[in-house]
Amino acid sequence: MNAELDAAVLEFQDAPEAGTDVRNPYCRHNDIHAFCPYSPEQEAFSKSNAFETFFGGAAGPGKTVILLNEGLRQVDNIGYRAIFFRRTYDELDQVIEMSHETFPLVGGRFNKSQHLWRFPYRAKSASANIIRASEMGASYKLAYCERDVHKYRYQGRAYAYIAWDEITQYPNPSVYLYLFLRCRPLWQGHQVRCYIRAASNPGGPGHSWVKERFIDNREPGRYYLEIVEDEVTGKQRSYLRQFIPATLDSNDILMQTTQYETALLAYPDPELRRAMRHGHWDIAAGVMFSELREAIHRVPASPPLDWTNKEIVIDWGYNDYCHVLWIEATSGVGEPMRARVYRELVVREKTGAMVGQMIAERTHTDERITRIVCDTQAWSSIGGEPSPAEEMMPRLKVRGWTLTKAIKGPGSRVRGWQTLHTWFYPFRKGGPLLTISDNCRVLWRQMTSLARGIEPHDVEELEPHQEDHGADALRYWAQMRPRPAMPTGAEMLEHDPDLDKLLDQRSYQEAKDRRVREITRQSGFPAVKVQTVYKPKPPRVRSPWALSG
Protein backbone atom coordinates (compact mmCIF):
# COMPACT_ATOMS: atom_id res chain seq x y z
CA MET A 1 0.00 0.00 0.00
CA ASN A 2 2.82 2.43 0.88
CA ALA A 3 4.59 1.64 -2.40
CA GLU A 4 1.43 2.46 -4.36
CA LEU A 5 1.03 5.72 -2.45
CA ASP A 6 4.65 6.70 -3.10
CA ALA A 7 4.25 5.95 -6.81
CA ALA A 8 1.13 8.13 -6.98
CA VAL A 9 2.93 11.02 -5.28
CA LEU A 10 5.88 10.77 -7.69
CA GLU A 11 3.51 10.58 -10.65
CA PHE A 12 1.82 13.80 -9.53
CA GLN A 13 5.17 15.53 -8.96
CA ASP A 14 6.37 14.58 -12.45
CA ALA A 15 3.44 16.35 -14.11
CA PRO A 16 4.33 19.56 -16.00
CA GLU A 17 4.13 22.70 -13.90
CA ALA A 18 1.38 25.25 -14.47
CA GLY A 19 2.21 27.56 -17.37
CA THR A 20 4.70 25.12 -18.91
CA ASP A 21 4.39 24.80 -22.69
CA VAL A 22 4.36 21.23 -24.01
CA ARG A 23 5.64 20.92 -27.58
CA ASN A 24 3.33 19.44 -30.15
CA PRO A 25 5.15 16.31 -31.44
CA TYR A 26 3.29 16.47 -34.78
CA CYS A 27 4.05 20.12 -35.57
CA ARG A 28 6.34 20.52 -38.61
CA HIS A 29 6.58 24.34 -38.47
CA ASN A 30 9.48 26.27 -37.04
CA ASP A 31 7.78 29.68 -37.18
CA ILE A 32 4.71 31.11 -35.47
CA HIS A 33 1.47 29.75 -36.92
CA ALA A 34 -2.14 29.35 -35.87
CA PHE A 35 -2.70 25.62 -35.32
CA CYS A 36 -1.38 22.14 -36.07
CA PRO A 37 -3.11 18.80 -35.41
CA TYR A 38 -1.48 17.11 -32.43
CA SER A 39 -2.58 13.49 -32.88
CA PRO A 40 -2.91 10.99 -35.75
CA GLU A 41 -6.70 11.13 -35.37
CA GLN A 42 -6.75 14.93 -35.56
CA GLU A 43 -4.55 14.78 -38.64
CA ALA A 44 -6.88 12.24 -40.25
CA PHE A 45 -9.85 14.49 -39.45
CA SER A 46 -8.06 17.51 -40.92
CA LYS A 47 -7.17 15.63 -44.13
CA SER A 48 -10.61 14.03 -44.62
CA ASN A 49 -11.97 14.43 -48.16
CA ALA A 50 -15.53 13.53 -47.14
CA PHE A 51 -18.37 16.03 -47.35
CA GLU A 52 -19.59 14.85 -43.92
CA THR A 53 -17.11 13.69 -41.26
CA PHE A 54 -17.78 12.80 -37.64
CA PHE A 55 -15.00 12.85 -35.02
CA GLY A 56 -16.43 11.00 -32.03
CA GLY A 57 -15.52 8.98 -29.00
CA ALA A 58 -13.56 9.47 -25.81
CA ALA A 59 -13.09 12.68 -23.85
CA GLY A 60 -9.75 14.44 -24.17
CA PRO A 61 -8.45 13.87 -27.74
CA GLY A 62 -9.05 17.50 -28.74
CA LYS A 63 -12.31 17.20 -30.68
CA THR A 64 -13.50 20.76 -30.06
CA VAL A 65 -10.17 22.44 -30.82
CA ILE A 66 -9.65 20.65 -34.15
CA LEU A 67 -13.31 21.19 -35.11
CA LEU A 68 -13.01 24.91 -34.35
CA ASN A 69 -9.68 25.51 -36.07
CA GLU A 70 -10.57 23.45 -39.14
CA GLY A 71 -12.82 26.36 -40.08
CA LEU A 72 -9.76 28.62 -40.50
CA ARG A 73 -8.55 26.68 -43.52
CA GLN A 74 -10.21 28.97 -46.08
CA VAL A 75 -10.29 32.39 -44.36
CA ASP A 76 -8.04 33.81 -47.11
CA ASN A 77 -10.87 33.34 -49.63
CA ILE A 78 -13.09 36.34 -50.23
CA GLY A 79 -16.68 35.73 -49.24
CA TYR A 80 -15.86 32.63 -47.18
CA ARG A 81 -18.40 32.01 -44.40
CA ALA A 82 -18.10 29.48 -41.57
CA ILE A 83 -20.30 28.70 -38.58
CA PHE A 84 -19.67 26.69 -35.40
CA PHE A 85 -22.63 25.35 -33.37
CA ARG A 86 -23.14 24.39 -29.76
CA ARG A 87 -26.64 23.64 -28.56
CA THR A 88 -26.99 26.38 -25.91
CA TYR A 89 -25.66 29.91 -25.52
CA ASP A 90 -23.87 29.11 -22.24
CA GLU A 91 -21.86 26.34 -23.90
CA LEU A 92 -20.13 28.86 -26.17
CA ASP A 93 -18.01 30.40 -23.35
CA GLN A 94 -15.03 28.07 -23.62
CA VAL A 95 -15.32 27.93 -27.42
CA ILE A 96 -14.89 31.72 -27.52
CA GLU A 97 -11.86 31.42 -25.24
CA MET A 98 -10.32 28.80 -27.55
CA SER A 99 -10.93 30.97 -30.62
CA HIS A 100 -8.97 33.86 -29.06
CA GLU A 101 -5.90 31.60 -28.89
CA THR A 102 -5.59 31.13 -32.65
CA PHE A 103 -7.98 33.34 -34.64
CA PRO A 104 -6.02 36.61 -34.08
CA LEU A 105 -2.92 34.94 -35.52
CA VAL A 106 -4.60 34.88 -38.94
CA GLY A 107 -5.93 38.42 -38.72
CA GLY A 108 -9.24 37.74 -37.00
CA ARG A 109 -11.13 40.54 -35.23
CA PHE A 110 -13.92 39.60 -32.82
CA ASN A 111 -17.34 41.26 -32.61
CA LYS A 112 -18.50 40.39 -29.11
CA SER A 113 -22.15 41.34 -29.56
CA GLN A 114 -22.54 39.15 -32.66
CA HIS A 115 -20.13 36.38 -31.62
CA LEU A 116 -18.57 36.87 -35.04
CA TRP A 117 -14.94 36.77 -36.18
CA ARG A 118 -14.06 38.83 -39.27
CA PHE A 119 -10.99 38.22 -41.42
CA PRO A 120 -10.30 41.15 -43.82
CA TYR A 121 -9.52 40.09 -47.36
CA ARG A 122 -5.98 41.13 -48.30
CA ALA A 123 -5.30 41.48 -52.03
CA LYS A 124 -2.41 42.96 -53.97
CA SER A 125 -3.12 46.10 -55.97
CA ALA A 126 -2.63 45.79 -59.72
CA SER A 127 -0.71 49.08 -59.90
CA ALA A 128 1.58 48.72 -56.91
CA ASN A 129 3.00 46.04 -54.70
CA ILE A 130 0.87 46.98 -51.68
CA ILE A 131 -1.72 45.19 -49.58
CA ARG A 132 -5.22 46.60 -49.24
CA ALA A 133 -7.68 45.25 -46.67
CA SER A 134 -11.37 44.92 -47.48
CA GLU A 135 -14.24 44.30 -45.08
CA MET A 136 -15.70 41.88 -47.64
CA GLY A 137 -13.39 39.17 -46.38
CA ALA A 138 -14.20 35.96 -44.53
CA SER A 139 -16.30 35.62 -41.39
CA TYR A 140 -16.70 32.87 -38.81
CA LYS A 141 -19.76 32.84 -36.53
CA LEU A 142 -19.97 31.06 -33.16
CA ALA A 143 -23.64 30.18 -32.79
CA TYR A 144 -26.14 28.14 -30.82
CA CYS A 145 -29.35 26.38 -31.86
CA GLU A 146 -31.19 25.15 -28.79
CA ARG A 147 -34.56 24.10 -30.18
CA ASP A 148 -35.98 22.83 -33.46
CA VAL A 149 -37.58 26.15 -34.36
CA HIS A 150 -34.25 27.97 -33.98
CA LYS A 151 -32.99 26.40 -37.20
CA TYR A 152 -35.14 28.84 -39.19
CA ARG A 153 -32.88 31.68 -38.02
CA TYR A 154 -30.45 30.49 -40.66
CA GLN A 155 -32.91 30.25 -43.53
CA GLY A 156 -31.43 31.83 -46.64
CA ARG A 157 -27.90 31.93 -45.19
CA ALA A 158 -24.82 30.43 -46.85
CA TYR A 159 -21.94 28.75 -45.03
CA ALA A 160 -19.07 26.90 -46.70
CA TYR A 161 -18.02 25.27 -43.41
CA ILE A 162 -20.59 24.07 -40.85
CA ALA A 163 -19.30 22.57 -37.59
CA TRP A 164 -21.35 20.85 -34.86
CA ASP A 165 -19.77 20.33 -31.45
CA GLU A 166 -21.34 17.78 -29.05
CA ILE A 167 -23.88 16.83 -31.69
CA THR A 168 -25.40 14.16 -29.39
CA GLN A 169 -26.96 16.95 -27.33
CA TYR A 170 -29.55 17.33 -30.10
CA PRO A 171 -32.35 14.80 -29.46
CA ASN A 172 -33.11 14.36 -33.18
CA PRO A 173 -31.31 15.11 -36.47
CA SER A 174 -33.81 17.76 -37.63
CA VAL A 175 -31.60 20.81 -36.95
CA TYR A 176 -28.46 19.09 -38.20
CA LEU A 177 -30.04 18.01 -41.48
CA TYR A 178 -31.76 21.36 -42.07
CA LEU A 179 -28.37 23.11 -42.12
CA PHE A 180 -27.40 20.89 -45.07
CA LEU A 181 -29.54 23.32 -47.09
CA ARG A 182 -27.24 26.16 -46.02
CA CYS A 183 -23.94 24.48 -46.96
CA ARG A 184 -23.05 26.49 -50.06
CA PRO A 185 -20.72 29.34 -51.14
CA LEU A 186 -21.85 32.89 -50.49
CA TRP A 187 -20.73 34.17 -53.89
CA GLN A 188 -20.93 32.14 -57.06
CA GLY A 189 -17.71 31.68 -59.00
CA HIS A 190 -15.37 31.62 -56.01
CA GLN A 191 -13.43 28.42 -55.45
CA VAL A 192 -14.59 27.60 -51.92
CA ARG A 193 -14.88 24.06 -50.65
CA CYS A 194 -18.18 23.37 -48.84
CA TYR A 195 -18.35 20.64 -46.20
CA ILE A 196 -19.77 19.64 -42.80
CA ARG A 197 -17.95 18.43 -39.70
CA ALA A 198 -19.23 17.20 -36.32
CA ALA A 199 -17.78 15.89 -33.08
CA SER A 200 -19.12 14.47 -29.83
CA ASN A 201 -18.74 12.08 -26.93
CA PRO A 202 -21.11 9.10 -26.58
CA GLY A 203 -24.25 9.69 -24.53
CA GLY A 204 -26.80 12.49 -24.49
CA PRO A 205 -30.33 12.78 -25.89
CA GLY A 206 -29.17 12.27 -29.49
CA HIS A 207 -26.83 9.33 -28.83
CA SER A 208 -28.99 6.89 -30.77
CA TRP A 209 -29.41 8.80 -34.06
CA VAL A 210 -25.74 9.82 -34.14
CA LYS A 211 -24.69 6.21 -33.55
CA GLU A 212 -27.06 5.01 -36.26
CA ARG A 213 -25.84 7.62 -38.78
CA PHE A 214 -22.08 7.34 -38.25
CA ILE A 215 -21.14 4.30 -36.13
CA ASP A 216 -23.38 1.29 -36.77
CA ASN A 217 -22.09 -1.12 -39.42
CA ARG A 218 -19.29 1.25 -40.41
CA GLU A 219 -15.56 0.72 -40.27
CA PRO A 220 -13.64 3.58 -38.59
CA GLY A 221 -11.66 5.74 -41.00
CA ARG A 222 -13.28 4.31 -44.11
CA TYR A 223 -15.14 6.45 -46.66
CA TYR A 224 -18.75 5.48 -47.35
CA LEU A 225 -20.59 6.57 -50.49
CA GLU A 226 -24.06 7.98 -49.78
CA ILE A 227 -26.52 8.16 -52.70
CA VAL A 228 -29.23 10.83 -52.84
CA GLU A 229 -31.92 11.11 -55.50
CA ASP A 230 -34.08 13.90 -56.88
CA GLU A 231 -37.65 12.64 -56.50
CA VAL A 232 -38.86 14.80 -59.40
CA THR A 233 -36.21 14.17 -62.07
CA GLY A 234 -34.79 10.89 -60.77
CA LYS A 235 -31.28 12.32 -60.97
CA GLN A 236 -28.83 10.77 -58.50
CA ARG A 237 -25.89 12.42 -56.77
CA SER A 238 -23.43 11.04 -54.24
CA TYR A 239 -21.24 12.27 -51.40
CA LEU A 240 -18.76 10.77 -48.93
CA ARG A 241 -19.34 10.22 -45.22
CA GLN A 242 -16.62 9.21 -42.73
CA PHE A 243 -16.31 8.35 -39.04
CA ILE A 244 -13.01 8.93 -37.25
CA PRO A 245 -12.86 7.57 -33.69
CA ALA A 246 -11.43 9.83 -31.02
CA THR A 247 -9.24 8.24 -28.35
CA LEU A 248 -7.52 9.78 -25.35
CA ASP A 249 -4.46 7.57 -25.92
CA SER A 250 -3.69 9.40 -29.17
CA ASN A 251 -3.28 12.72 -27.37
CA ASP A 252 0.37 12.58 -26.31
CA ILE A 253 0.24 16.11 -24.93
CA LEU A 254 -2.61 15.40 -22.54
CA MET A 255 -1.31 11.93 -21.67
CA GLN A 256 2.00 13.40 -20.47
CA THR A 257 0.07 14.25 -17.32
CA THR A 258 -1.98 11.32 -16.01
CA GLN A 259 -4.26 13.49 -13.90
CA TYR A 260 -6.93 13.75 -16.61
CA GLU A 261 -7.04 10.02 -17.18
CA THR A 262 -7.24 9.51 -13.42
CA ALA A 263 -10.21 11.88 -13.25
CA LEU A 264 -12.00 9.91 -15.97
CA LEU A 265 -11.38 6.58 -14.27
CA ALA A 266 -12.59 7.96 -10.95
CA TYR A 267 -16.08 8.65 -12.32
CA PRO A 268 -18.53 6.35 -10.48
CA ASP A 269 -20.80 5.37 -13.41
CA PRO A 270 -19.11 2.43 -15.24
CA GLU A 271 -21.13 3.04 -18.42
CA LEU A 272 -20.01 6.66 -18.77
CA ARG A 273 -16.52 5.77 -17.59
CA ARG A 274 -16.05 3.39 -20.51
CA ALA A 275 -17.62 5.88 -22.91
CA MET A 276 -15.49 8.86 -21.87
CA ARG A 277 -12.22 6.97 -21.42
CA HIS A 278 -12.38 4.51 -24.32
CA GLY A 279 -15.04 6.03 -26.60
CA HIS A 280 -17.44 3.08 -26.43
CA TRP A 281 -20.78 3.86 -28.09
CA ASP A 282 -22.71 0.87 -26.70
CA ILE A 283 -23.78 2.64 -23.52
CA ALA A 284 -27.09 3.50 -21.89
CA ALA A 285 -26.07 6.05 -19.25
CA GLY A 286 -28.63 8.75 -18.45
CA VAL A 287 -31.37 7.38 -20.72
CA MET A 288 -34.84 6.56 -19.46
CA PHE A 289 -34.95 2.98 -20.77
CA SER A 290 -31.41 1.88 -20.02
CA GLU A 291 -32.57 -1.75 -19.87
CA LEU A 292 -33.09 -1.90 -23.66
CA ARG A 293 -30.56 -4.09 -25.44
CA GLU A 294 -30.52 -4.64 -29.16
CA ALA A 295 -29.67 -8.34 -28.82
CA ILE A 296 -32.85 -9.20 -26.90
CA HIS A 297 -35.33 -6.31 -27.31
CA ARG A 298 -35.00 -5.79 -31.07
CA VAL A 299 -36.26 -8.69 -33.18
CA PRO A 300 -36.39 -9.36 -36.95
CA ALA A 301 -39.42 -7.96 -38.74
CA SER A 302 -42.09 -10.52 -39.65
CA PRO A 303 -45.86 -10.55 -40.30
CA PRO A 304 -48.06 -10.76 -37.19
CA LEU A 305 -49.22 -14.19 -36.04
CA ASP A 306 -52.78 -15.25 -36.88
CA TRP A 307 -53.82 -16.06 -33.31
CA THR A 308 -52.52 -12.96 -31.47
CA ASN A 309 -54.58 -9.96 -30.38
CA LYS A 310 -53.68 -6.86 -32.35
CA GLU A 311 -54.10 -3.20 -31.42
CA ILE A 312 -53.24 0.16 -32.99
CA VAL A 313 -52.14 3.16 -30.93
CA ILE A 314 -51.91 6.75 -32.17
CA ASP A 315 -50.03 9.72 -30.76
CA TRP A 316 -51.66 12.56 -32.66
CA GLY A 317 -49.83 15.52 -34.17
CA TYR A 318 -50.24 17.78 -37.16
CA ASN A 319 -47.51 20.43 -37.01
CA ASP A 320 -45.58 17.93 -34.94
CA TYR A 321 -45.22 14.24 -35.81
CA CYS A 322 -48.12 11.79 -35.71
CA HIS A 323 -46.81 8.37 -34.67
CA VAL A 324 -48.88 5.20 -35.17
CA LEU A 325 -47.90 1.76 -33.83
CA TRP A 326 -49.26 -1.72 -34.57
CA ILE A 327 -48.82 -4.12 -31.63
CA GLU A 328 -49.65 -7.82 -31.29
CA ALA A 329 -49.92 -9.63 -27.96
CA THR A 330 -50.56 -13.17 -26.75
CA SER A 331 -53.58 -13.95 -24.58
CA GLY A 332 -51.56 -14.39 -21.39
CA VAL A 333 -53.52 -17.50 -20.40
CA GLY A 334 -51.33 -19.96 -18.53
CA GLU A 335 -48.15 -17.91 -19.12
CA PRO A 336 -47.11 -14.26 -19.05
CA MET A 337 -48.50 -12.09 -21.85
CA ARG A 338 -45.89 -11.22 -24.46
CA ALA A 339 -46.14 -8.46 -27.06
CA ARG A 340 -44.32 -7.12 -30.11
CA VAL A 341 -44.47 -3.81 -31.99
CA TYR A 342 -44.49 -5.00 -35.60
CA ARG A 343 -45.24 -1.88 -37.66
CA GLU A 344 -45.06 1.92 -37.40
CA LEU A 345 -46.22 4.97 -39.33
CA VAL A 346 -44.64 8.40 -38.82
CA VAL A 347 -46.17 11.34 -40.71
CA ARG A 348 -46.39 15.11 -40.40
CA GLU A 349 -48.89 17.75 -41.56
CA LYS A 350 -51.54 15.16 -42.44
CA THR A 351 -55.23 15.62 -41.62
CA GLY A 352 -57.19 13.14 -39.54
CA ALA A 353 -58.89 11.80 -42.65
CA MET A 354 -55.54 11.21 -44.35
CA VAL A 355 -54.09 9.44 -41.30
CA GLY A 356 -57.19 7.25 -41.00
CA GLN A 357 -56.87 6.29 -44.69
CA MET A 358 -53.16 5.47 -44.26
CA ILE A 359 -53.90 3.26 -41.25
CA ALA A 360 -56.59 1.37 -43.16
CA GLU A 361 -54.34 0.87 -46.20
CA ARG A 362 -51.42 -0.41 -44.14
CA THR A 363 -53.50 -2.87 -42.11
CA HIS A 364 -54.04 -6.18 -43.90
CA THR A 365 -57.59 -7.47 -44.10
CA ASP A 366 -56.71 -10.64 -42.15
CA GLU A 367 -55.33 -8.70 -39.16
CA ARG A 368 -57.91 -8.85 -36.35
CA ILE A 369 -57.63 -5.38 -34.79
CA THR A 370 -59.35 -5.51 -31.40
CA ARG A 371 -58.86 -1.87 -30.37
CA ILE A 372 -57.49 1.47 -31.60
CA VAL A 373 -56.22 3.75 -28.82
CA CYS A 374 -55.78 7.41 -29.71
CA ASP A 375 -54.32 10.44 -27.99
CA THR A 376 -57.08 12.59 -26.44
CA GLN A 377 -55.60 15.60 -28.23
CA ALA A 378 -57.10 14.24 -31.45
CA TRP A 379 -60.57 15.13 -30.13
CA SER A 380 -59.70 18.84 -29.91
CA SER A 381 -61.30 21.01 -32.57
CA ILE A 382 -60.64 24.59 -33.68
CA GLY A 383 -63.41 27.02 -34.61
CA GLY A 384 -66.15 24.41 -34.59
CA GLU A 385 -64.49 22.34 -37.31
CA PRO A 386 -64.52 18.52 -37.00
CA SER A 387 -61.71 17.24 -34.79
CA PRO A 388 -58.98 14.96 -36.23
CA ALA A 389 -60.59 12.01 -34.43
CA GLU A 390 -63.96 12.78 -36.04
CA GLU A 391 -62.25 13.00 -39.43
CA MET A 392 -60.67 9.57 -38.90
CA MET A 393 -63.90 7.83 -37.89
CA PRO A 394 -65.48 7.32 -41.37
CA ARG A 395 -62.28 5.71 -42.72
CA LEU A 396 -61.98 3.40 -39.72
CA LYS A 397 -65.66 2.41 -39.52
CA VAL A 398 -65.41 0.88 -42.99
CA ARG A 399 -63.16 -1.75 -41.37
CA GLY A 400 -65.40 -2.05 -38.33
CA TRP A 401 -63.07 -0.12 -35.99
CA THR A 402 -63.74 2.56 -33.39
CA LEU A 403 -61.47 4.90 -31.46
CA THR A 404 -60.77 4.62 -27.73
CA LYS A 405 -59.37 7.58 -25.81
CA ALA A 406 -55.95 7.06 -24.20
CA ILE A 407 -55.71 7.26 -20.42
CA LYS A 408 -54.52 10.68 -19.30
CA GLY A 409 -54.54 12.47 -15.98
CA PRO A 410 -52.36 13.55 -13.05
CA GLY A 411 -49.42 11.16 -12.69
CA SER A 412 -50.43 9.08 -15.73
CA ARG A 413 -47.19 9.73 -17.59
CA VAL A 414 -44.98 8.52 -14.74
CA ARG A 415 -47.18 5.46 -14.19
CA GLY A 416 -47.03 4.74 -17.91
CA TRP A 417 -43.22 4.87 -18.00
CA GLN A 418 -43.03 2.63 -14.94
CA THR A 419 -45.34 0.13 -16.61
CA LEU A 420 -43.16 0.12 -19.74
CA HIS A 421 -40.10 -0.57 -17.57
CA THR A 422 -41.86 -3.70 -16.32
CA TRP A 423 -42.68 -4.83 -19.86
CA PHE A 424 -39.10 -4.24 -21.01
CA TYR A 425 -37.45 -5.82 -17.95
CA PRO A 426 -34.80 -8.14 -19.44
CA PHE A 427 -34.09 -10.50 -16.53
CA ARG A 428 -36.88 -13.00 -17.20
CA LYS A 429 -37.12 -16.57 -18.33
CA GLY A 430 -37.76 -16.34 -22.06
CA GLY A 431 -36.57 -12.75 -22.28
CA PRO A 432 -38.48 -9.46 -22.02
CA LEU A 433 -42.27 -9.37 -22.37
CA LEU A 434 -42.20 -6.57 -24.97
CA THR A 435 -40.00 -6.43 -28.07
CA ILE A 436 -39.73 -4.11 -31.08
CA SER A 437 -39.34 -5.24 -34.69
CA ASP A 438 -36.31 -3.87 -36.51
CA ASN A 439 -38.52 -2.23 -39.16
CA CYS A 440 -39.73 0.22 -36.46
CA ARG A 441 -36.57 2.30 -36.67
CA VAL A 442 -37.94 5.61 -35.43
CA LEU A 443 -39.49 4.02 -32.33
CA TRP A 444 -36.27 2.16 -31.52
CA ARG A 445 -34.19 5.30 -31.91
CA GLN A 446 -36.49 7.21 -29.58
CA MET A 447 -36.74 4.51 -26.91
CA THR A 448 -32.96 4.04 -26.73
CA SER A 449 -32.13 7.75 -26.58
CA LEU A 450 -34.81 9.43 -24.44
CA ALA A 451 -33.03 11.12 -21.54
CA ARG A 452 -34.28 10.82 -17.98
CA GLY A 453 -35.21 14.08 -16.23
CA ILE A 454 -32.40 16.04 -14.57
CA GLU A 455 -33.04 18.16 -11.50
CA PRO A 456 -35.05 20.31 -11.05
CA HIS A 457 -37.15 18.13 -13.38
CA ASP A 458 -38.66 14.84 -12.17
CA VAL A 459 -36.15 11.99 -12.56
CA GLU A 460 -39.08 9.61 -13.16
CA GLU A 461 -40.11 11.74 -16.16
CA LEU A 462 -38.44 12.59 -19.46
CA GLU A 463 -36.23 15.61 -19.89
CA PRO A 464 -38.24 18.30 -21.77
CA HIS A 465 -37.93 19.09 -25.49
CA GLN A 466 -37.28 15.55 -26.75
CA GLU A 467 -38.79 13.64 -29.63
CA ASP A 468 -41.05 11.22 -27.75
CA HIS A 469 -44.11 10.67 -29.97
CA GLY A 470 -43.47 6.96 -30.49
CA ALA A 471 -42.73 6.49 -26.80
CA ASP A 472 -46.00 8.23 -25.91
CA ALA A 473 -47.94 5.94 -28.24
CA LEU A 474 -46.33 2.89 -26.65
CA ARG A 475 -47.13 4.29 -23.21
CA TYR A 476 -50.83 4.62 -24.16
CA TRP A 477 -50.85 0.95 -25.08
CA ALA A 478 -49.19 -0.13 -21.82
CA GLN A 479 -51.62 1.91 -19.70
CA MET A 480 -54.64 0.13 -21.21
CA ARG A 481 -53.74 -3.24 -19.65
CA PRO A 482 -52.73 -4.64 -16.25
CA ARG A 483 -49.13 -4.14 -15.20
CA PRO A 484 -47.14 -7.40 -15.50
CA ALA A 485 -45.68 -8.99 -12.39
CA MET A 486 -41.99 -8.49 -11.67
CA PRO A 487 -39.79 -11.60 -11.97
CA THR A 488 -38.55 -13.34 -8.85
CA GLY A 489 -35.08 -12.68 -7.49
CA ALA A 490 -33.86 -16.14 -8.52
CA GLU A 491 -35.20 -15.60 -12.05
CA MET A 492 -33.41 -12.23 -12.33
CA LEU A 493 -30.08 -13.69 -11.23
CA GLU A 494 -30.36 -16.70 -13.53
CA HIS A 495 -31.33 -14.77 -16.67
CA ASP A 496 -29.20 -11.64 -16.35
CA PRO A 497 -27.98 -11.02 -19.94
CA ASP A 498 -25.23 -8.59 -18.93
CA LEU A 499 -22.97 -10.63 -16.69
CA ASP A 500 -21.14 -12.33 -19.57
CA LYS A 501 -21.05 -9.38 -22.00
CA LEU A 502 -19.09 -6.65 -20.24
CA LEU A 503 -15.73 -5.69 -21.60
CA ASP A 504 -13.43 -6.04 -18.62
CA GLN A 505 -13.22 -7.89 -15.34
CA ARG A 506 -13.48 -4.78 -13.19
CA SER A 507 -16.74 -3.62 -14.80
CA TYR A 508 -18.01 -7.20 -14.71
CA GLN A 509 -17.39 -7.35 -10.99
CA GLU A 510 -19.03 -3.98 -10.39
CA ALA A 511 -22.12 -5.06 -12.32
CA LYS A 512 -22.32 -8.35 -10.50
CA ASP A 513 -21.99 -6.75 -7.07
CA ARG A 514 -24.60 -4.15 -7.98
CA ARG A 515 -26.98 -6.82 -9.29
CA VAL A 516 -26.64 -8.87 -6.12
CA ARG A 517 -27.47 -5.79 -4.02
CA GLU A 518 -30.47 -5.04 -6.24
CA ILE A 519 -31.80 -8.56 -5.98
CA THR A 520 -31.34 -8.52 -2.22
CA ARG A 521 -33.32 -5.31 -1.95
CA GLN A 522 -36.16 -6.49 -4.21
CA SER A 523 -36.45 -10.11 -3.14
CA GLY A 524 -35.31 -10.19 0.46
CA PHE A 525 -33.01 -13.21 0.35
CA PRO A 526 -29.38 -12.80 1.47
CA ALA A 527 -26.81 -11.74 -1.10
CA VAL A 528 -23.79 -13.84 -1.97
CA LYS A 529 -20.53 -12.16 -1.02
CA VAL A 530 -18.16 -12.09 -3.98
CA GLN A 531 -14.46 -11.34 -3.72
CA THR A 532 -13.38 -8.42 -5.91
CA VAL A 533 -10.56 -9.16 -8.34
CA TYR A 534 -9.09 -6.38 -10.49
CA LYS A 535 -7.61 -6.96 -13.90
CA PRO A 536 -4.26 -5.22 -14.63
CA LYS A 537 -4.49 -2.15 -16.85
CA PRO A 538 -3.65 -3.05 -20.48
CA PRO A 539 -0.90 -1.12 -22.30
CA ARG A 540 -1.88 1.80 -24.53
CA VAL A 541 -2.20 0.86 -28.20
CA ARG A 542 -2.65 3.31 -31.04
CA SER A 543 -5.42 2.81 -33.56
CA PRO A 544 -3.94 0.63 -36.34
CA TRP A 545 -5.67 2.60 -39.10
CA ALA A 546 -4.59 6.06 -37.91
CA LEU A 547 -2.18 8.11 -39.95
CA SER A 548 1.37 8.03 -38.73
CA GLY A 549 3.07 11.22 -37.57
Would the pLDDT of 542 be above 60? no
pLDDT band at residue 455, thresholds of 50, 70 and 90? low
Would the pLDDT of 4 be above 60? no
**Long-range Cβ contacts of 484-489 (<8 Å, 24+ apart):** 484/336, 484/337, 484/422, 484/423, 484/433, 485/336, 486/422, 486/425, 486/522, 487/425, 487/427, 487/428, 487/429, 488/523, 489/519, 489/520, 489/522, 489/523, 489/524, 489/525
Tell me, what's the pLDDT at 207? 81
What SS3 string covers 106-122?
Answer: HCCEEECCCCEEEEEEE
- Going by C-alpha positions, the residue among 340, 359, 337 that lies closest to residue 301 is 340
- Contact status, residue 452 vs residue 466, Cβ threshold 8 Å: no
- Going by C-alpha positions, the residue among 442, 451, 436, 449 that lies closest to residue 470 is 442
Tell me, what's the pLDDT at 33? 56
Helix (H/G/I), strand (E/B), else coil: 252: helix
Tell me, what's the pLDDT at 496? 63
Task: Report phi then psi at 115, rounded to 5.
Answer: 55, 45
DSSP string, 490-528: HHHHHT-SSTTT-SSHHHHHHHHHHHHHHHHHHH-SPPP
pLDDT in tens, 197-212: 999 988 777 887 898 8
Between 274 and 412, whose confidence is greater?
A: 412
Would the pLDDT of 248 be above 50? yes
Percent helix, strand, coil in the chain (nearest 5)? Answer: 35, 20, 45
The answer, yes or no, to whether the previous bond of 300 is cis (omega within 30 of 0) is: no
Please give the Cα distance from 165 to 70 (Å, whole number): 12
- Contact status, residue 164 vs residue 199, Cβ threshold 8 Å: yes
Q: Which helix (H) or strand (E) holds 8?
A: helix 2-13
pLDDT in tens, 167-178: 988 888 989 999
Alpha-carbon distances of 381 from 229, 358, 376, 384, 389, rounded to whole Å: 39, 21, 11, 6, 9
Please give the Cα distance from 217 to 397 (Å, whole number): 44
pLDDT band at residue 394, thresholds of 50, 70 and 90? very high
CATH of 294-479, one of 3.30.420.280, 3.90.1200.10, 1.10.3720.10, 3.10.450.50: 3.30.420.280
28-42, 329-343, 412-426, 522-536: the lowest-pLDDT one: 522-536
Domain 44-278 CATH assignment equals 3.40.50.80: no
pLDDT in tens, 217-242: 889 889 999 998 888 888 899 999 99
Helix-helix angle 469-479:412-424, to 10 degrees = 90
Question: pTM (2 decimals)?
Answer: 0.59
- Cα 503 from chain centre: 22
Mean pLDDT of 261-283: 68
pLDDT in tens, 68-99: 999 998 888 888 999 999 998 888 989 999 99
37-41, 61-65, 123-127: the lowest-pLDDT one: 123-127
Tell me, what's the pLDDT at 531? 41
- Domain positions in the chain: 44-278, 294-479
Task: Report phi then psi at 230, rounded to 5.
Answer: -80, 115
